[in-house]
Structure 1
Amino acid sequence: MSRIRTVCVYCGSSPGARPQHMQAAEALGKALAEAGIGLVYGGGNIGLMGGIARATLAHGGHVTGIIPRFLVEREAMLADVQELIVTADMHERKRLMFERSDAFVALPGGIGTLEELVEQLTWVQLGRHDKPILMLDLDGFWSPLIALFDHMTTEGFLRQGAEVPFVVTSEVEEIIPALLRAAPVIEELMDEREGAPIDQF
């Protein structure tokens, strides 16, 4: 049985410039619900955040929204979720999102989405967790970031043997199967690297 019971999805509080962004968020929400996997997300009711949460709920899925108090009005908190947590600040929000999730998915988004994604990648490299991380590279959205990681490696800032394991797919339908396949691979890599000195990212 998979250890993935809940997935944290990072995504924009904006709908994006193209309808494919919202379509992808809604399709993932439906897929999570149908797979019996709970959604953990930022608690908002606008943009891709609202889209994935409403779609998960509409198809009978479980949603946990975690939002800091100062964003309750700005991101129009979605009160219809089964579990809603209002935190004191962003640090508490991110900690709870991490603790309540078995895997992480980054849909298209802005600086906040990028920051949350990179933080999880950093924690993997530092050996703080072995949860799968996946980027939905919708129409090449994350390709510049992936190219930057390659550039960091070429420039000697990501050393050989310390590569951060993450999964990339361009199809929503591949997200859940890819996460399920990645989980044991991530665990194996973490076992191999346990105790190794960590000095770069």
Structure 2
Amino acid sequence: MASDISPATAAARTPLNICVFCSAADLDGVYTDAAREFAGLIGKRGHSLVWGGSDSGLMKVVADGVQEAGGRLVGISVEFLRNVARPNADEMIVTADLAERKAVMLARADAIVVMVGGTGTLDEATEILELRKHGMHTKPIVILNTAGFYDGLQQQMRRMEAEGFLPLALDELVTFADDGLQVLELLGA
């Protein structure tokens, strides 16, 4: 269980815009419980959530948790998903397509966290990693490896590093965390 921090400690931290990539699907409790806990930490610590704007599935769980804990919501939706965008976000931007959505999410973020998800989440994560690899941004990227969901990806990325496919050390590109508290510790948040 994540510990709470004092209001003085929270006030001393610089608020971050934390971009979260995750699924819009309804998922098992192992994932939703971890997401809810992480979201609560984001909100309690005064950070803003930058996310895909959906009001369904894990995206909704994260947005609910951040909002309930007093955090700010910045949704970046896309035109063809406008009908599932969260109606009570603090800010909602609707982009023309997925490429623009990813670009706006990156521009609005101070840090990126990849949570469990399907091909859309994987697409977002790999593009952000590729841009970082090429020096197009220096924002920290953390993969929240809830219940070992990304163990295979971590193993594959270690192999890519070992066999020379990555031009920089894996820990300079991305870090993996087991829970939300560790994510925020890695981000200094």
| Aligned pairs for 1:1-201 within 5 A | 5-16=16-27, 18-73=28-83, 76-159=84-167, 161=168, 163=170, 164-180=172-188
For the aligned residues, what is the CA RMSD?
1.7
d(CA) in 1 for partners of 2:142 and 2:97? 26
Structure 2 residue identity aligned to 1:54: D
Structure 2 residue identity aligned to 1:19: G
Structure 1 residue identity aligned to 2:131: W
1:4, distance to aligned residue in structure 2 (A): 5.7
8 Å contact from structure 1 (residues 4, 102) kept in 2: no
- In the alignment, structure 2 segments of 5+ residues that lack a partner are 1-11
State the identity %: 33
d(CA) in 2 for partners of 1:11 and 1:176? 17
1:167, distance to aligned residue in structure 2 (A): 1.5
TM-score (ref. length: structure 2): 0.87
Query: How many aligned residue pairs are there?
Result: 177
8 Å contact from structure 2 (residues 22, 115) kept in 1: yes
TM-score (ref. length: structure 1): 0.82
1:86, distance to aligned residue in structure 2 (A): 1.0
Structure 1 residue identity aligned to 2:124: E
1:158, distance to aligned residue in structure 2 (A): 2.5
Cα distance change of structure 1 residues 165 and 156 upon mapping to structure 2, 3 Å threshold: closer
8 Å contact from structure 1 (residues 15, 21) kept in 2: no
1:157, distance to aligned residue in structure 2 (A): 2.1
1:165, distance to aligned residue in structure 2 (A): 2.3
Structure 1 residue identity aligned to 2:24: S
Deviations 1:100-130 (A, max 9, x none): 1000001110011111111111111101111
d(CA) in 1 for partners of 2:150 and 2:89? 29
d(CA) in 1 for partners of 2:66 and 2:123? 24
d(CA) in 2 for partners of 1:97 and 1:6? 10
Structure 1 residue identity aligned to 2:127: E
